[in-house]
Amino acid sequence: MPAAAKPQSSRKVAARSSRTAAKPKPAAKQVAQAALVVGGGVAGMQASLDLANQGFKVYLVEKSPSIGGRMAMLDKTFPTLDCSACILTPRLSEVARHPNIKLLTYTDLEGVIGKVGNFKVRVIKRARYVKEELCAGCGACAKECPVEVPNEFDQGLGFRKAIYVGFPQSTPSTYTIDMESCIKCKRCERACERKAIDLEMEDERVEFDVGAIIIATGYRLFDVRRYYRLGYGRLPDVINAMEYERLINAAGPTQGHLIRLSDGKTPQSIGFVQCVGARDVNKGVPYCSRVCCMYGIKNAVMAKEHNPSTDVTIYYADIRAFGKGFEEFYEMARTRFGVKFLRGRAAEIIEDVRTGKLHLRAEDTETAQPQEFEHDMVVICPGIQPPDDLDKIAEKLGVAMSNDGYVDVVHRYFGPVDTKMPGIFVCGCADGPKDIPDSVTAGSAAAMKASIILAKGGAA
Partner 1 sequence: MSTTTAESSPAVNWEPRIIAYCCNWCSYAGADLAGTSRIQYPPNARILRVNCTGRIDPEFILVALEMGADGVLVSGCHPGDCHYTSGNLKLRARWALMQKTIEQAGVDPRRVRLQWASASEAQIFADGVKELTEQVRKLGPIRSEWK
Partner 2 sequence: MMTEKAEPRIGVFVCHCGHNIAGVVDVAKVVESAKSLPHVVLSTDHMFMCSDAGQQLIKDRIKEQKLNRVVVASCSPRMHEPTFRRVVEDAGLNRYLFDQVNIREHVSWCHMRQPKEATDKAIDLVRMSVARAAELESLPIKSVSVTPRTLVVGGGIAGLRASLDIADRGFEAVLVERMPELGGHVRKWTHLFPADESGEQIIAPLVRQAEHHKLVRVMKDSEVVEFGGYIGNFTAKIKNHKTGMVKEVDVGTVIVATGFEPFRPFGYYEYGQHPDIITLAELQEMTPRADLIRPSDGKKVKKLAFIGCVGSREAGKLGHEHCSRHCCSAVAKAAADLRDRVDEVVIMYQDIRTYGRGHEELHRLARSKLVIYSKFPKEKKPVVQIANGRIRITWYDVLSGDNLEYEPDLLVLASAMIPPADVAETSKMFSLTRSADGFFNPEHIKLAPLTTHTAGVMIAGAAQAAKNASESVVDASGAAAKAVGLMARGNVEIESTVSHVIPELCSSCHTCVTACPYGAIAMDTKKSPPVALVTEAKCKGCGTCAASCPSSAIIMYHSTDEQILTMVEAYLCPSTQTTGGVA
- Name which of residues 241 to 260 contact partner 2 (CB under 8 A): 249-251, 255-256
Tell me, what DSSP letter sits at residue 344? S
φ/ψ (deg, to 5) at 125:
-90, 110
Q: Largest Cα–Cα distance of the chain, in whole Å? A: 79
What is the C-alpha separation between 383 and 239, in angstroms, rounded?
Answer: 14
Kindly tell me which of 91 and 122 has the beta carbon lying closer to partner 2: 91
Stretch that binds partner 1, among 80-88, 174-182, 290-298, 373-381 (CB under 8 A): 80-88
Whole-angstrom distance, CA of residue 389 vs CA of residue 129: 24
Task: Enter the DSSP assignment of 227.
Answer: S
Near partner 1 by CB under 8 A: residue from 94, 203, 305, 351: 305
Among 75-83, 196-204, 248-256, 405-413, which window interacts with partner 1 (CB under 8 A)? 75-83
Q: Judged by CB under 8 A, does residue 80 bind partner 1? A: yes
Contact status: 288 vs partner 2 (CB under 8 A) = yes
Nearer to partner 1, 70 or 76 (CB): 76
List Cβ<8 Å contacts ≥24 apart for 450-453.
Answer: 450/35, 450/47, 450/51, 450/211, 450/212, 450/213, 450/214, 450/423, 450/425, 451/50, 451/51, 451/54, 451/56, 451/212, 453/31, 453/116, 453/117, 453/211, 453/212, 453/423
Instruction: Give the whole-angstrom CA distance, residue 63 versus residue 434.
Output: 21
Closest contact distance (angstroms) between CB of 390 and partner 2 is: 15
What's the CA angle centered on 310, arms 308 and 316, to 5 degrees? 115
Residues 322-351, mask of contacts with partner 1 (x by CB under 8 A): ----------x-------------------
For partner 2, which stretch binds (CB under 8 A), given 3-11, 178-186, 209-217, 326-334? 326-334
> By C-alpha distance, which of 283, 310, 278, 311 is closest to 295?
278
CB closer to partner 1, 140 vs 332? 332
Closer Cβ to partner 1, 206 or 300, answer by number = 300
> Least distance in Å: CB of 303 to partner 1?
13
Q: Which does 137 bind (CB under 5 to 8 A by kind): partner 1, partner 2, none?
A: partner 2
355 is a site residue for partner 1 (CB under 8 A): no
328 vs 352 by CB, closer to partner 1: 328
Contact 121, 209 (CB under 8 A): yes
Closest distance between partner 1 and the C-beta of residue 87, in Å?
A: 11
Of 81 and 410, the one with the shorter C-beta distance to partner 1 is 81
Beta bridge partners of 382: 276
Which range touches partner 2 (CB under 8 A), out of 87-95, 196-204, 212-220, 370-378? 87-95
Give least dist CB 393 to partner 2, A: 19
Per CB under 8 A, the list member of 57, 260, 320, 375 interacting with partner 2 is 320
Residue 204 β-bridge partners: 12, 125
Strand order of the β-sheet with 118-125 is: 9-12, 204-210, 118-125, 107-115
Using the minimum distance from each CB to partner 2, give the nearer residue, 385 or 451. 451
Rule CB under 8 A: is residue 335 a binding residue for partner 2? Answer: yes
3-state secondary structure of 35: strand
Applying CB under 8 A, the site for partner 1 has a residue count of 5
Which member of 79, 166, 296, 383 binds partner 2 (CB under 8 A)? 79
Rg (CA), the chain: 24
Interface with partner 2 (CB under 8 A), residue from 7, 114, 137, 356 = 137
- 88 is a site residue for partner 2 (CB under 8 A): yes
414 phi/psi in degrees, rounded to 5: -90, -15
Is residue 81 at the binding interface for partner 1, with CB under 8 A as the rule?
Answer: yes
Residue ranges that bind partner 1, judged by CB under 8 A: 80-82, 305, 332
